[in-house]
Structures are given as C-alpha cells and as structure tokens.
Structure 1
Amino acid sequence: MSTLKSLHLIGSAQMGGAERWFTRFLSAMVRHGEPVEAVVRRGSELARHHLQDVPHRELGFRTVWDPLSRFEVSRLVAGSDAPIVQTYMGRATRLTHLRPGRGKVHLSRLGGYYKLTPFRHAHAWIGNTKGLCDWMIQGGLPAGRVFHITNFADPAKTVPQAELAALRERIGLRPGDWLMVTAGRLIDVKGHRFLVDAMGRLPAGIDGRRLRLVVLGDGGLREALEAQARQAGVADRILWAGWQQDPAPWFHVADMVVFPSRDAETLGNVILEAWAYGKPLVATAFRGAREIARHGEDAWVVPCDDGAALAQGMEHVIREPGLQRQMVANGLARIGRDFSEAAIIGQYRALYAQLLDNR
C-alpha cells in the first residue's frame, strides 16, 4: 500500500466546489486507509478549517509566475515519498513540474472546461464527467492518458432534531412552509439570477404552503442578486445564508433542492447532495445534468437561462407529491449504484496502480 501514497496540491485561497471536493475526497481516502498528504495555500480557508483529519502542509502558492512558489513546490515534491502527485485547478498545476527520472507521476484533475495549456505538462488527466474527458481529448490530450472518474456523494449526515428545530425557528420557517434550497458560489455560471427571476414568477404560496428559498453560498454577485430580488418583490421570500461549512442541516430541513446552473457547469455536486439527502430535485439542463440526471425519473430538468421554465418546473414538482416520491427513491438508488464513496475510491486506487505500472 505504501507504493500508492499520493500527494495532493491545490493553491486556492477560498472555498468553492473544487475545494469542497478536495476535502471530501482526501477525507474519504483516509477513511479507506489510503496514505495521502495535502499541500494547500498558506492561510487559506482549507488550511484553517477543513483538513483536520488529513495530513497536510502549507506553501505560499503566490502566483503562477512566482519563482519562489515554484521552487517551494519543486522542493516539496522532490522530498516526498509519494509516487503519485495529483494537482487541482490551474495554479497548483502550473507550479508543479516533475523532474525527469524521479519515477513520479503527475496526475492533473480537471473539474471544469478550463484552457488546456496550463495542464498539458502533466503525465495524465482525470475528468469528472465523460463530456469533459471527450473535450480534453478533442483539445489534443492523448486519449490513453485521459481518465473518467466521477465524484461520489457523501452519505447524508445525521443532525439532531433539536438542531433542526432551532434552525427552522431561526429562519422563521412556519409549519407547512415549502422550503427550497440551492447551493453554490454566487457567480454567473451558477445561474442564480434565473432562480430569482423564477421566484418572482411563482405565487407566494401553493396549496396553502408559503414558498421560501434559502441560498447557500457567497460571492461577487450577492449585492446584484439581492437588488434583483427586491425589484422583483420577493426579497422577503429569499434568505441569503452565505457559505455554510456544514450544509447538512439545510438539506435536512429542505422540501426541495433547486440547481439553476448555466450550460458551462461541468458536473454539479448539488445534484448528488439532493439525491443523498432524499430531496426532490429541479435542475437546469447544463452539461453535467444532461450526463447524469434522468428527467422525470430522478430529477425534473428544465432549460438553462430560462426563469419562466424554471418557475414552471418548480411549481409542477411542488404540486405532484407522487413525482416527488418517485424522484427521491430513484435518486437514492443512483447514489448507491453509481456514486458511492467506496466505488469511486476504488477507481482512484486502480488508476494509481495502473499509472505506476506504466511509468
């Protein structure tokens, strides 16, 4: 097992989808007995709050052009006994250049349709969707070195009922309210403006249930989105909860999950979280959803960038309890069959062994 030790580098300062995956993945590797070590940016949110159970070090990761940062990365990698060096996102990948003849493999994981130039010097690449892998190959990366391994879903975390009751009281949730939750950074690709538009098109209540939306996340568009909500007259129906280190309580109190991303969204971990927590899901037909969601079976899928269609889909699901139960049952089945932690960790373990055999 020691030959499969892996070193994982990411240079982000703040948390987002890629950083959440980084922590979830490495924690799972530790649980499955895989020897790992993380290298993260000094003073980052990852370093301060999210890696308590994962061995890790901190480096500067200042800029991709900083010679000191590149030297620090090179020295750490050279001194590590890990033969697998896995990088995430552009900064860590561009600063990581393995010296020839050291017997190490540089594996770069892409979670989005990034410009490929900063990633070409790696020895192999992982994409978390088939569409992303096809795109990498079309962009000139060798097909035999591009591998598809999707994300796993964390099992639903148990939260005490008293904590859930306190959360409902804190956010002013009344018995009978219909609470929708969405999660993601407040950036354009997440499509929040179309969800705010949809909220403005929906009635204040359906079948006697007040409609409420909680937005988990933060980002540069928050002020503009809040202004849009006020202009649409729905500011009192939307709670901007900010980034949540532990979103589990929010998923538990939700009646439905809505994920309004635009087409460029690669996978969409919120889909997996909705399924894992047994919540009906309304999602837009972005790239990741087209690949993994099945309309009418485990999700209700509507066109991207269309507030009217999103509102119509949300209302349809709210009014159809039978459809809700069907989607929840099918989503839970998908988690067990296609997105379990053990299966995905096994795929990484097998890939590491394959790459080391072929180095």
Structure 2
Amino acid sequence: MIIKSSDLETTLGSPSSTQTTRVLHLINGEHFAGAERVQDLLAMALPQFGYEAGFACVKADKFPKVRRSSSPLYELNMKNKFDLLCYRNIAKIICDENYKLIHAHTPRSLLIGSLAARATDCPLIYHVHSPAGRDSERGLKNWINTKVETWALSRVDRMICVSNSLMGYMESLGHPAVKLNVVSNGVAAIDDLPHRDAPGKNDVWTLGTMALFRPRKGVEVLLEALSILKNRGVKTHLRAVGQFETSEYESEVMNLVNRLGIADMITWTGFQTNVNEQIRKMDLFVLPSLYGEGLPMVVLESMANAVPVVASNVEGIPEAVRDNVDGLIFKPGDAKDLAAKVESMVGDSERWNSMSQSAYVRQRTCLSDISMAEGTSEVYSSLLN
C-alpha cells in the first residue's frame, strides 16, 4: 500500500486493529542500497516479534519500487532539505494510524522525526547505519550532517548502532552510553545453496563488487589492484554491480579504467535488484571501502551465498569477516595489499572451500535477518515497557 501526502485527508482512517505494535520507519527512500535493504528486511521479520512496520519516505524514488515488503508506505516528499513542515503529515499518520514508535534511519529523516516526536509525544529511535561525519569527501556536508544529527539526537530515546565500532564513534561524540545499543545487521539465510567448486589456478577468477559507487567506496583502489594482477599474469575479471552516485564521478572512474588499460577486464552491470543472483556469479567478493562503513549488508549477503570476502579494514567490517577465516582483510587504500590478498587466493581451492564454508555458517548463526529483527524488537520493548 502506497499513500501520497496529497491523499492523507481521505486515506487515513481508523487505527489498525492488529494485535502487533506499529512502528513508523522514517526513511529517505531515494536509493535501494545497504541501509534500505536493512529497512526492508526488518519490515518482513519484525512481525515475528510482535511489531508491524510502516514506512514514511521523505525522498521517495527507488525504495517504493524495489522493496519486497508489503508494509504501508506513505510518500511525504520534502520540497527541499529545508522543508520541515512535512512533520505535520507524519504526526497525523502517527495519531490516525496508531503508531507507537518512530524509527528514523537518516539525518534528514531524524530531523523530521524529532519534530514529529515532540508533536505526538511518541518515543523516537535512531538507526545509526554509518558515521555521518565520515559519509563523504565533502567536509562541509559531513559537518552539516553531524550538526543536524547531533541536534536532533537530543530528542532521541534510543540509538541502534549496527556495529561496536559505530557505537564507539557515537560515544566519542558525547552521546550517553545508556541510549546506545548494538544490533548487528543481518540478511536472510539461504538454504540449499547450489554446490560450487573454486575455479582452478589457470581459470579466470571473477572478482565482484557491489555498491552505490561514490568516492568513499574506493573503487579506484580495486581498479588499480586489477591492473597489478593483470601485470602479474593473474587471470581475473571484475563484475561491478551498482550505479554511480553522479555522472561526473562515473566519468572520473571510466577515465581511470582507460588509463590503466583494463576496460576489457570489467563488466559494469548497473543497478540490479537480484542481489543473490549477482553474487553467485562471483568467486571472490571485494569491498575496497576507504571509510564510512557501519556493517555493510553486501558483505553479509556474500557470506550467505558462501562467497569469500576480501575487504578493507574499515570500521565494522572486521566484526563480520574474520581475517583468514571467513575471508581476507587488507589495508584501506592499498592497491598492492589488495592485489596480494587476491593473488594468494587464486588457485588455492582448499583455502577457498574452507573460507566459503566458514562464511556461510557464520552468517547463518550470527548475522541473520531474524537476529537483527529480534535485537531491534528488544530495543523497542525496552522503551514501551
């Protein structure tokens, strides 16, 4: 169900009679990347623990089109980043539809959510997906996001951090520990994976990466590593899944590809919705992020598909991927180290099989959508009780 702000007067009627407690998730909604997959998975898994999610999108675009959940969705698009009056529509939804909790997921939605919480006296939770102060290379934007987040957090009752690293970051900003909770991201476990063997030493190994490509994702480091592997005679091909944040950045990356002479070694797929299908086409998943990660969903999705991960030592990543157990960890920004880690795996079928099995088991036991929903529900219950 999708409701637009122009329809509010006629479509919001009597409160739901469901026995579950309703939680309104405030999200941007313009992308469908890691944080949005968290939101979608929570909506599907929370009912097991007595909670029903609804979504209010303040920048609706991809999320309403791509999501798998069927939760109520309200499109309340802000006219611009300073259009704060849409909090009134959110407050109306909360009152008319009997929502008991507000759960915000971005600095923008947190700002609106804090105003709606004041207007309705509804408890407010903020989901810290990544450090706002390290979101991009634009210092002014980071500073503004941090200031907005800090101001709005004064009204927050609880914060959910997706990793211990993020909780430490929030503590360093002066947020009280009593408000902080760690709930690791999770993805759906996959049963009956089709059997696969590691490629041989003389085969072409498919390296994969998946992201909303922007500078902090470090794709340049991966491209430089690909060039190094080519010069060493290591047979690899890169499958890059995702769209670019801007056309300007896409041009910069393509210019680097041409300078390195590796265009024939890369398949750019663009944005894809079939995440698991894409990951199963990869022999190793590579995440070369430079900074700004909480606990990347795509790492967990790779583990769920029994694909070993080679990832940078950034924030929450090592909390999921144990070095030399579930995958390999390399120095952020170091293309030579990344190339060396990939080369050490190529052709070593015994090592690949061991890491593949370990990653698969670890995701199922520690990093599932069910464990994420259970942890989130415990935060909700701590407020309502």
TM-score range, shorter chain: 0.7 to 0.9
Q: Which residue of 2 aligns with 1:225?
A: 253
Question: Conserved in 2, the CA contact under 8 Å of 1:4 and 1:352?
Answer: no
Once the two structures are superposed, the pairs formed by residues 159-238 of structure 1 within 5 Å of their partners are: 176-203=203-230, 210-219=235-244, 220=246, 221-238=249-266
Once the two structures are superposed, the pairs formed by residues 69-84 of structure 1 within 5 Å of their partners are: 69-84=86-101
Instruction: Give how far 1:299 is off.
Output: 1.2
Q: CA 1:333/1:9 → structure 2, altered by over 3 Å: closer, same or farther?
A: same
How many corresponding residue pairs?
A: 342
Question: Conserved in 2, the CA contact under 8 Å of 1:64 and 1:95?
Answer: no
- When the two structures are superposed, what TM-score results if normalisation uses the length of structure 2? 0.82
Q: Does 1:286 align with 2:314?
A: yes
Please tell me the root mean square deviation across aligned C-alpha atoms, in Å.
Answer: 2.5
One-letter code aligned to 1:264: G
Q: CA–CA distance in 1 between the matches of 2:192 and 2:276?
A: 8
Q: CA 1:308/1:334 → structure 2, altered by over 3 Å: closer, same or farther?
A: same
Instruction: Give how far 1:336 is off.
Output: 2.0
Cα deviation digits, residues 25-59 of structure 1 (max 9, x gap): 22233576632211124651112332552222211
One-letter code aligned to 2:209: T
Q: CA 1:274/1:89 → structure 2, altered by over 3 Å: closer, same or farther?
A: same
Question: Conserved in 2, the CA contact under 8 Å of 1:299 and 1:327?
Answer: yes
Q: Does 1:301 align with 2:329?
A: yes
Q: Which residue of 2 aligns with 1:117?
A: 150
- When the two structures are superposed, what TM-score results if normalisation uses the length of structure 1? 0.87
Once the two structures are superposed, the pairs formed by residues 1-359 of structure 1 within 5 Å of their partners are: 2=19, 4-30=21-47, 34-41=51-58, 43-51=60-68, 53-96=70-113, 97-99=115-117, 102=120, 104-114=122-132, 115=146, 116-120=149-153, 121-156=155-190, 176-203=203-230, 210-219=235-244, 220=246, 221-357=249-385
Question: Conserved in 1, the CA contact under 8 Å of 2:276 and 2:301?
Answer: no
Q: CA 1:88/1:57 → structure 2, altered by over 3 Å: closer, same or farther?
A: same
Cα deviation digits, residues 173-205 of structure 1 (max 9, x gap): xx9432111011111111100000000101378
Structure 2 gaps, min length 5: 1-17, 133-145, 196-201
Question: Conserved in 2, the CA contact under 8 Å of 1:216 and 1:240?
Answer: yes
SS of 1:228's partner is helix
One-letter code aligned to 2:90: V
The percentage of aligned residue pairs carrying the same residue is 20
Q: CA 1:263/1:100 → structure 2, altered by over 3 Å: closer, same or farther?
A: closer
Cα deviation digits, residues 126-178 of structure 1 (max 9, x gap): 110111112212212221111110111223488999xxxxxxxxxxxxx9432
Structure 1 gaps, min length 5: 162-174
Cα deviation digits, residues 220-254 of structure 1 (max 9, x gap): 22221121111101100011111111122211121
Question: Conserved in 2, the CA contact under 8 Å of 1:191 and 1:262?
Answer: yes
Q: CA 1:23/1:253 → structure 2, altered by over 3 Å: closer, same or farther?
A: same
- After TM superposition, where is structure 1 displaced by more than 3 Å over at least 4 residues in a row? 30-34, 98-103, 156-161, 204-207
Cα deviation digits, residues 81-130 of structure 1 (max 9, x gap): 12111011011111122455955211011111111424412221111011
One-letter code aligned to 1:203: K
One-letter code aligned to 1:109: H
